[in-house]
Amino acid sequence: MQNIHMKNINVEYFAILRERAGCDRETLATTLNTPADLFAELQARYKFPAMTSIKVAINDEFADFQSQLKDGDRVVFIPPVAGG
Amino acid sequence: MKEFQIQAGVLQPERDKLRLASPSCGGFVTFEGWVRNRNDGQDVLRLEYQAYEALALKEGNRIIREAFERFPIEKALCIHRVGSLEIGELAVWVAVSAGHRDEAFSACRYIIDEIKYRVPIWKKEYYADGDSGWVNCEACASHAHEQHDH
C-alpha cells in the first residue's frame, strides 16, 4: 500500500554530489517512500552524474535502495569511494 | 589496540607505531599511502580527501575486526587523513603487529585493500592544467573533458 504521508528526510551530500547540490545538507519534505525514488528525484533536480555502484546509508548504516523511508531519517547517497 | 581513525592533521607514524608495541610480537608491518604527482595520465598538484565520518568510522572498524577474525594478529591501527594534502604527504597509514611476519603482512594487506574498496572516503584531484575531479566518478572525467573543449 502506498504511504502518501509527507515526511521530513534529512539528506546529507558528499563529494561530487555536494558540489552538484550546492549544499552540505538539506531537509526535504516528501511523500517518496524509498531511497531509490528519492535519488531519482534529486538526480533530476541537481543533474547528478550517472555513476556506477552508488550506495545509500540510512541513519549512518548501509541500507537497501528499496528500504522504506521514515520521518526524520538521515539519508546519505554514497558515490564510488576513493580512499587510500 | 584495534582501531580505525580519521584525522585532519598531519599523520605521525613514528609516534603512533609505539601503540602497536608488544613483547609477544615478532613482526610489525606498516603500509603508507602517499599522495602521488600523477594519476591516469594527468599531473596532479594536490588532493582533497573528504569522509562521511560517522559511517567511515563504523566501516573502517568493521574491517579491522574482520582482520582479527581472519588472521592471528595482536594489534592493528589504521589512520586515514582528510582535508587538503600536498604531493608526497601521507594519506593513509596501516600498522599491524603479530607474533610472526606472515600474518602481519596478510592482515595489513587485507585492511588497506578493504579500506580502499568499502570506506566512504572520497578524493578530489587538482590538476596542473587547472581542472579538478573526484576520483572514480566517471562524470567528473567527462566534465573535465568538456572544460578542455572550450
B4-48 pLDDT, tens digit each: 999 999 999 999 999 999 999 999 999 999 999 999 899 999 999
Number of domains into which chain B is organized: 1
ipTM comes to 0.93
The whole-number pLDDT of residue A53 equals: 87
Q: Report yes or no on B84 lying in a domain.
A: yes
Q: Do A82 and B121 touch (CB under 8 A)?
A: yes
pLDDT digits (tens, 9 = 90+) for A4-39: 789 999 999 999 999 999 999 999 999 999 999 999
Residue with cell 516528501: A30
CB B124 within 8 A of CB B48: yes
Rounded Cα distance, B88 and A17, in Å: 28
pTM for this predicted structure: 0.91
Facing residue for A51 by CB, picked from B33, B91, B137: B137
Within a domain: A68:
yes
Q: Residue B131 domain-assigned?
A: no
Mean pLDDT along residues A75-80: 97
- The total number of structural domains in chain A stands at 1
- CA-to-CA distance for B40 and B93, rounded, in angstroms? 23
Residue B29 within any structural domain of the chain: yes
| pLDDT grade for A3, boundaries at 50, 70 and 90 | low
CB-CB under 8 Å, B139 with A82? no
pLDDT of residue B138: 52
Residue B61 lies in a domain: yes
CATH number of A74's domain: 3.10.20.30
DSSP A53: S
Which residues of chain B make contact with A51, given a CB cutoff of 8 A?
137-139
- Residue A66 confidence (pLDDT): 97
Model confidence at A72: pLDDT above 80: yes
Residue B145 lies in a domain: no
**3-class DSSP assignment, residue B69:** helix
Q: Mind telling me how many Å the CA of B121 is from chain A's nearest CA?
A: 5
- Spatial separation of the C-alpha atoms in residues B147 and B150, rounded to whole Å: 5
Q: Is residue B149 part of a domain?
A: no
What's the CATH number where B8 sits? Answer: 3.90.1170.40
pLDDT score at B65: 98
Shortest alpha-carbon distance between residue A16 and chain B (Å)? 6
Domain assignment present for residue A83? The answer is no
How many angstroms separate the CA of residue A19 from the nearest CA in chain B? 10
pLDDT per residue of chain B (150 residues) written in tens, 0 to 9: 899 999 999 999 999 999 999 999 999 999 999 999 999 899 999 999 999 999 999 999 999 999 999 999 999 999 999 999 999 999 999 999 999 999 999 999 999 999 999 999 999 999 999 999 999 875 544 544 444 433
Please count the other Cβ atoms lying within 10 Å of the Cβ belonging to residue B134: 27
> Contact, A40 vs A9, CB < 8 A?
no
| Interface contact flag, B134 A14, Cβ < 8 Å | no
Q: Do A80 and B52 touch (CB under 8 A)?
A: no
Cβ separation A76–B55 shorter than 8 A = yes
Q: Does residue B135 belong to any structural domain of this protein?
A: no
Domain of residue A55 covers 7-78
Q: What is the mean predicted confidence (pLDDT) over A42-62?
A: 94
